[in-house]
Amino acid sequence: MKRHPVHTLFPLLAAILLAGPSCLRQPAEEGSWQSLFNGTDLQGWEVKIAGLPPGEDPLETFRVEDGILKVCYDGYEHFGDRFGHLFYHRSFSHYILRVEYRFTGEQVPGGPAWAFRNNGIMFHAQAPATMALHQHFPISVEAQMLGGSGEGERPTGSVCTPGTRVSVGGRPVEAHCFSSDGPTLHGDDWVLMELVVLGDSLVHHIVQGDTVLTYGRLRYSGPMLREYPAYAPLEGQALRSGHIALQAESHPTEFRRIEIRELPQR
C-alpha cells in the first residue's frame, strides 16, 4: 500500500483536529516540548537487559558521553542474545515524540543479521519490572530505525509489533513488521524521527520531515502474549498507553535529542 509522504506539519494538524475542540481551548503553555534526556546522565530512565534484573547493566550498554546517549558494545566479546531496552520512567498516551539518532561503528560479534544497523523506539511498552528475566522485547509497538548498508534498499520508519497488532488502511496487519515508505539512509548522519501517537487510535511515523507510515487500532495480540500469563487475558484489548523505550539490538547507536510534547486527550 503506497502512501505519499507529506511534511511534518500535516500530522501535527491532524493530531490537533482529531483531539477535538478541547485541544483548541488549551492554554498556550500546555503541551510545550519537554526533554526526556538531560544530556548528562540516565536520570529518569531504567535499563532492562535480557538475562539480568531491571536496573542492571554491568557492561554499560547504555551510557552518556559528551552529551550523547549511547548504545555501546565495547565491553562485549559476544552479543549472546542480550537484547536491551532503556525505559523512560513514566507512561504516555497522546503525544508527539522527536528523536535524533545515528548508527556508528560495527555490529558486535554474534548479533543477528537482521539487527545490523537496526534499532527502534518502543512505545506503549510494558514496564521493565513486569518483564520476564530472559524476555527479549517488551510487549509494545516499535517504530523501527534502520540504516543502509551502502547498497540496496532498506527503508526506515517501519512498524513492528511484539505482543501487539495494528491496522493499516483499516485492515489488521498479520505480519510482525509492516514496511514504511521511508528512505534508505546510508552513512552515519544524524536522522530525525518523529512520532505522532494518539492513544490506540492513530500513529504517524515521520522521518526527516516526511510522513512514511500511518496506522491505527493498536491492540494486544499474538503468540507472545501466551508466553506471559499475566498478559494473556489482554488479547484483543486496546493498547492506549505505556512506556517509551530505546533499544539495544547489537549495533552501536547514538541519540542526541529525545523530546516529547504531550497532547490533550479527547
Gap between the Cα atoms of 161 and 14, Å rounded:
24
Query: For residue range 222-233, what is the model confidence (pLDDT) as tens digits?
Result: 999 988 888 999
H or E segment to which residue 164 belongs: strand 164-168
Span 40-48, average pLDDT: 98
Cell numbers given for 66: 559528551
Span 118-129, average pLDDT: 97
Q: Indicate if the pLDDT at residue 208 is higher than 50.
A: yes
Query: For residue range 151-168, what is the model confidence (pLDDT) as tens digits?
Result: 889 999 999 999 999 999
pLDDT at 18: 45
Q: Indicate if the pLDDT at residue 16 is higher than 50.
A: no
Q: Indicate if the pLDDT at residue 237 is higher than 50.
A: yes
Gap between the Cα atoms of 106 and 73, Å rounded:
9
pLDDT at 115: 96
**Mean pLDDT, the chain, whole residue set:** 90
Q: Indicate if the pLDDT at residue 15 is higher than 70.
A: no
pLDDT at 158: 98
pLDDT at 6: 40
pLDDT at 19: 42
Beta strands in 27-157 (DSSP E): 34-35, 45-49, 62-65, 68-71, 84-92, 94-103, 118-125, 141-146
| Residue 65: other Cβ atoms inside 10 A | 10
How many Cα atoms within 13 Å fall on the side-chain side of residue 175? 7
pLDDT at 229: 86
| Residue 206: other Cβ atoms inside 10 A | 28
Residue among 101, 121, 118 at smallest CA distance from 213: 121
Residue among 64, 99, 122, 120 at smallest CA distance from 239: 122
**223 near 240, Cβ under 8 Å?**
no
pLDDT at 166: 98
Q: Indicate if the pLDDT at residue 265 is higher than 80.
A: yes
pLDDT at 172: 96
pLDDT at 56: 98
For each of the domains in the chain, give its residue range(s) and CATH number, in order of start. Answer: 9-20+33-262 (2.60.120.560)
Q: Indicate if the pLDDT at residue 5 is higher than 80.
A: no
pLDDT at 204: 98
Gap between the Cα atoms of 230 and 249, Å rounded:
25
Query: For residue range 45-100, what is the model confidence (pLDDT) as tens digits?
Result: 999 999 999 999 999 999 999 999 999 999 999 999 999 999 999 999 999 999 99
**246 near 123, Cβ under 8 Å?**
no
